[in-house]
Amino acid sequence: MNNLSFFSRILPIPALALLIACGNPASHKDSDHDHGGDAHGHGHDHDHDHDAESTFRIQDTQGQAPRVFASNYPLRFFTERIGGDLIEIVYPVPADEDPAYWTPSPEDVRAIQSADILFLNGATYEKWAETVTLREDRIVNTSAGFSHRYIKLQDAVVHSHGPGEEHSHAGTAFNTWLNPQHAAAQANVIYETLAAQLPDHGSELLQNHEVLREELEALDKRFGQAIADHENTTILASHPVYDYFAERYSLDIVSLHWEPDEFPSIEQWIEFAEIHADNPTDWMIWEDVPADKTQARLREEGVDWIVFRTAMNTPEEMDYIAIMNENANNLLEIFE
């Protein structure tokens, strides 16, 4: 065995030298010859070897429920609704952590690596994916189909240092699932991937997907009805997470960076006053119920609030559809 490894390491160099010494006539051939030769012409031996190689399959889950990783709760919800008992979900994100800012441990990474399919949200959502090793050939970017509709963030820092060029860490808004149409598109990608992986269960997957698709369509209709005739209304938001929702229903949502459980600082209230002056509105939407003190201060400023949850992580009681329906009900407070 050592001899083989030796040849692997050492002999390419003298072999090349020998080729050059021989005049390397082959190197003068037209490069098209490389591809243009007989595609079948590598002989029986190679065909045999190739057949042996063709048994290599990365995704071989025959006889076992495929393990499917989803990178946030909405994707997990869609996957579980479509795949049901036919799949085994892998979701190592702790319930109290925002999956967008989660940093997986090596053990988490190995759990993700064990998955047969990795459903990612895309749109720069999984920043942690840049710093871990994943099985790239198993990654499915569920938002790739509408990547041309990603919303670029405006407040990215541009910087330069050393001899390198100026660069920015700009990203895109990533809460794609708050637009039910995008959510439906992502669910469709999940359905198609699972259907390809589980061809024997096509009808069951299709049926599950149809039910989910109808629910998402109904949700889109509910939001549309709630906002009807109120397009271009200005609303303040506690966090810049509603870009896709605002785009879908033509709302003018102006975002702050406030946490529901923290009372904003004096600087933040000054910024609020300036923004409010430029964008007069009576309403502010929050990801969660704001602190009592914040509620009182907002009332003093003449601004009422509603909760519009993003459903980014696994809820304790409701599911994605129920949360979105509740959001639609809350919106009615603004527009009725």
Contacting other proteins within 38-97 (CB under 8 A):
39-43, 45-47, 49-54, 56-58
Q: Which stretch in 91-99, 156-164, 278-286, 319-327 sits in contact with other proteins by CB under 8 A?
A: 156-164
Q: Within 267-326, which residues bind other proteins (CB under 8 A)? A: none
x/- string (CB under 8 A) for other proteins, residues 98-137? -----x--x--xx--x-------------xx-xxxxxxxx
The token pair that represents 116 in the structure block: 């047969």
Residues listed for the chain: 336
Q: Within 169-208, which residues bind other proteins (CB under 8 A)? A: 169
Sort strands 88-90 and 67-70 into parallel, antiparallel or unpaired.
parallel
Cβ closest to other proteins, residue 21 vs residue 277: 21
In the complex, minimum distance from the CB of residue 6 to other proteins, in angstroms, rounded to a whole number: 3
Tell me the longest C-alpha to C-alpha distance in the chain: 89
Q: Which stretch in 30-38, 71-79, 92-100, 187-195 sits in contact with other proteins by CB under 8 A?
A: 30-38
In the complex, minimum distance from the CB of residue 231 to other proteins, in angstroms, rounded to a whole number: 30
In the complex, minimum distance from the CB of residue 257 to other proteins, in angstroms, rounded to a whole number: 13
CB 183 within 8 A of CB 215: no
Q: Within 2-21, which residues bind other proteins (CB under 8 A)? A: 2-16, 18-19, 21
CB 173 within 8 A of CB 123: yes
**Of 201, 66, 199, 233, the residue nearest 140 (C-alpha):** 66
- Edge to edge, the sheet with strand 88-90 lists 88-90, 67-70, 117-120, 139-141
Cβ closest to other proteins, residue 98 vs residue 210: 98
Cβ closest to other proteins, residue 51 vs residue 316: 51
Query: What phi, psi does 248 have (nearest 5°)?
Result: -65, -40
Q: Which stretch in 29-37, 73-81, 178-186, 206-214 sits in contact with other proteins by CB under 8 A?
A: 29-37
Q: Does 229 bind other proteins (CB under 8 A)?
A: no
**31: Cα separation from own chain's centroid:** 41
Please give the DSSP secondary-structure letter assigned to residue 6.
Answer: H
Cβ closest to other proteins, residue 49 vs residue 97: 49
Cβ closest to other proteins, residue 22 vs residue 292: 22
**Of 118, 183, 175, the residue nearest 150 (C-alpha):** 175
Tell me the C-alpha distance between 285 and 318, whole Å.
Answer: 20
